[in-house]
Amino acid sequence: MAIRVQRADFDPGVELDRFCTGKTNVGGVCLFVGLVRDYMGHDPQAGAEVRAMTLEHYPGMTERQLEAIEAEARSRWPLDDALVIHRFGRLEPGERIVLVAASSAHRDAAFEACRFLIDWLKTKAPFWKVEHTPDGDAWVDAKESDDKAAERWLK
Amino acid sequence: MKVLYFAWLKAKTGIGEEEIAPPPGVATVGQLVEHLKTRSPGHAAAFETLSVVRVAVNQDYGGLDTPVKAGDEIAFFPPVTGG
């Protein structure tokens, strides 16, 4: 289990390789990578152009919440391992923001836990995005769709 | 107690962090908010719409009824938008 909150980029290939190495009891690894989009909202035609964004976070609480989210995933699925990497600072379209991965003996647990990790992280980890557009800076509003995605996992 | 502000709450108050000695009678987050609002027009603006403000007490999510005491770290911020 590992949590990393960092300004620097990460290499998903290297992370995946490291995550898989030495595991002989694992049948499936699921890995999700989130990227910066170049438009605001859901509609690429209607949304303003995003030239970059800056992610702010709450050092200390971020790690604490990510650890709690990971512990929750482990309590729900028989996971072999889990990994969360989240970046902060200024990011441009196409750059990687987040990586979550889960491994288990069977693929169902790996898929579900991976989805759970990103859904819960989006509504619980203290990160905030401000988008830099040609019209100025705008703090991103929390999305109802993200709340809905997280609510699916409420017991 | 230490009070932290993030995202647009930081922009509106103009500060990221301040040390507060709250007056007697401030025992909950809600009471602290009422006190903080009086500190500056920026504070009042930051807390104008509480439905879009979240709070953490000692790095755990809380609400307006959550108790606060000397030595606590209390953070105010908008709903989170990571991932």
Q: Is A78 exposed, middle or buried (0-12, 13-18, 19+ CB in 10 A)?
A: exposed
Angle at CA A68, nearest 5°, toward A65 and A73? 130
Q: For residue A150, tell me if it sits in a domain.
A: no
> Which positions 13-72 of B are in contact with A (Cβ < 8 Å)?
56, 59-61
As a whole number of angstroms, the distance between CA A145 and CA A122 comes to 11
Q: How many folded domains does chain A comprise?
A: 1
Question: Binning pLDDT at 50, 70 and 90, where does residue A41 land?
Answer: confident
Q: Is B68 helix (H, G, I), strand (E, B) or coil?
A: coil
Question: Binning pLDDT at 50, 70 and 90, where does residue A21 land?
Answer: very high
Q: For residue A113, tell me if it sits in a domain.
A: yes
Q: For residue A110, tell me if it sits in a domain.
A: yes
Q: For residue A109, tell me if it sits in a domain.
A: yes
Structure tokens at A128: 């905030």
Q: For residue A42, tell me if it sits in a domain.
A: no
- CA distances (Å), A151 to each of A63, A116, B28, in order? 22, 10, 28
Q: For residue A79, tell me if it sits in a domain.
A: yes
> Tens of pLDDT along B4-36?
999 999 999 999 999 999 889 999 999 999 999
- State the DSSP H helix or E strand holding residue A75, giving kind and residue range, or none if neither: helix A61-76
A52-57: strand order across its sheet: A89-91, A52-57, A127-133, A136-139
Distance from the Cα of residue A5 to its chain's centroid = 11
CATH of B2-77, picked from 3.10.20.30, 3.50.50.60, 3.40.50.720, 2.30.42.10, is 3.10.20.30
On chain B, the residues whose CB falls within 8 A of the CB of A34 are: 83
Q: For residue A18, tell me if it sits in a domain.
A: yes
> Tens of pLDDT along B43-55?
999 999 999 999 9
Structure tokens at A140: 């991103």
> Tens of pLDDT along A81-90?
999 999 999 9
As a whole number of angstroms, the distance between CA A94 and CA A109 comes to 29
Q: For residue A140, tell me if it sits in a domain.
A: no
CATH at residue A31 = 3.90.1170.40
Using the Cβ of A34 and the Cβ atoms of chain B, whether some distance falls under 8 Å is answered with: yes
Using the Cβ of B81 and the Cβ atoms of chain A, whether some distance falls under 8 Å is answered with: yes
> In chain A, what percentage of residues exceed pLDDT 70?
100
Residue contact A140–B82, C-beta within 8 A: no
Containing structural domain, residue A119: 2-35+55-123
ipTM score:
0.94
